[in-house]
Amino acid sequence: MTSDDDTPSIEYCSATDVRRSLSSLLPNLVPYWTRRLGDYAGFVYGIEAFRSENEVRLHAMDRLRHCIERAALKSGFNTDQAVSAGADVVAAPVIQTGPHALLLVEPDAFYTHLFSLLGLLAHGRRWHITYSVSTSAFRESAKKGPGWLPLEGEALNVFGLPRKRLVGTSIACENGPYRYALSNSRGQTAPSASARRLLDILPKAEFRTGAEAIKMGNQALWQELFAAPVNRLQLDDFDMADLIADHLEDSASWLSAHFVGGTGAALAVLQEIDRLNAGPWAGWIRRTTDLFWGLGKDRVFPLYLNDGVLRSARSPGLEVSFTPECLAQALRDRTILPGMFMSYLVTAILPGVRVLGGCRQTVYLPLMRHLAAVGFDVAGDREFPLTLKDDERPGVWGHRVLKPVDGRPLQEIEAAGGILPLLTKYADLTLEDASGNLSSFTRDPIWAAMSANIASGSITPKSREWQWSGL
């Protein structure tokens, strides 16, 4: 089973309701429900090379390209490969942002990466660039999350962590060492042939953070199991922290000069989030923290912007002045990490990169673009919102679009004789059949509310907040 199938089976709306809502908000999706999954993958990965005359966008893409090159070098690629990865995002600006920081063979991640490969190979791409958040805990729900791997009918503890650390610890925190164990509930390391095979592939080294361990583990798994003519590069929140710091240390960056630099744009964005949560868009973008997270020994914690300073109720001694210099230093020192809006601002919205996501991102990404437009308006920039309106499908549904009822990645790879034959198996399914019962949508009460709001006319494709969706 994929991860969704182990959640409580409370359905707040039907799959038909979800398809109707998605078709209303994403009209380009409509003809693909009954077409091949391979066709849909080709559609979402079909994009023209980056081009823009807008200075903000040109600068942001240049910063992102350098970030990707730096991340590639850190991940073990050579200089030529790193330059190739940076050039690839310019030639085809698409990033997969759906799966959390899970091992590639976790079903929720595996089948999404298969879908991405379908699209990438259809266009002859050389790089599969992904971004996974690093602020999640090892355990997100019962025996699910970055610290767990379902394999041969049992949930394995990826790093052999005790329950206390699984429940309360963020994968971003530098409190290692972490080593791969793949142990079961009886404490047996690699209790099956499949687990032993994985453990042989995964790195033997110790890592300072769970996020680093997962990133390097996925690098090894991709090379050994996927064996596709496409390189994979995984970005995480540490890469985002350095990218945002790059912006803040550059006076030519809009982020430095206007968003943080005293125009009130950041406060206007936070106030607009509050307004969204007081109406029909409630819950899609929550103000769980103000733009950045504090990074502690074991957990990330919320920060709140007040009188030009980021503060935390949990850590009274932590204060970061909301200035480009102080924020950049705190990001470099790993005192803070970016929140989702900041990460998507520098990877997608400013540089004009299409991002593929799951059941919530299909809505919150367009709303983040709306928030960015609010910030630009307060900063007195009337040009960039026009650039935003010209973007074509900047956020699309691309996670859990392939969701087998009983997905078993390792067994499927072996039975098919490799990844490429497995792609052929799934490419001919219709999108409706491939996406299954849409349980990640139907078991989320926010989609029941969305269906009701669309039915009542409270939310329509012409809603003011949806005008930046590019859909």
End residue of a domain, out of 339, 359, 392? 339
Average pLDDT over residues 113-117: 98
At residue 7 the predicted structure's pLDDT band, cuts being 50, 70 and 90, is very low
Residues 124 and 257 both lie in one domain: no
Pull the structure tokens for residue 331.
């990001």
Residues 6+ apart with CB under 8 A from 125: 45, 88, 92, 230
Query: Of 295, 312, 339, which one is at a domain's C-terminal end?
Result: 339
Closest C-alpha among 298, 280, 265, 350 to residue 56: 350
Q: What range does the domain containing 145 cover?
A: 3-246+343-466
> For strand 354-357 and strand 94-96, is the pairing parallel, antiparallel, or unpaired?
parallel
What number of other Cβ atoms are within 10 A of residue 375's Cβ?
26
Structure tokens at 388: 């935003």
* 471 assigned to some structural domain: no
What b/e sequence results for 203-220 when a residue is b if at least 16 CB atoms lie within 10 Å of its CB, and e otherwise?
eeeebebbbbbbbbbbbb
In tens, the pLDDT along 326-379 reads: 999 999 999 999 999 999 999 999 999 999 999 999 999 999 999 999 999 999
Rounded Cα–Cα distance for residues 284 and 340 (Å): 12
Residue 147 lies in a domain: yes
Do 280 and 392 sit in the same domain of this protein? no
pLDDT given at position 317 = 85
Q: Give per-residue pLDDT as tens, 165-211.
A: 888 799 999 999 999 999 999 999 999 999 999 999 999 999 999 99
Question: pLDDT tens-digit profile of 419-465?
Answer: 999 999 999 999 999 999 999 999 999 999 999 999 999 999 999 99
How many helices and strands (H and E) does the chain possess?
20, 13
Mean pLDDT of 245-263: 93
Residues 318 and 377 in one domain: no
Q: Supply angle C-alpha 447, 449, 454, rounded to 5.
A: 95
Q: What is the pTM of this model?
A: 0.96
Asked if 158 contacts 149 with a C-beta cutoff of 8 angstroms, the reply is yes
pLDDT tens digits, 384-420: 999 999 999 999 999 999 999 889 999 999 999 999 9
Based on the fold, state whether residues 201 and 325 are members of the same structural domain. Answer: no
151 and 263 both lie in a single domain: no
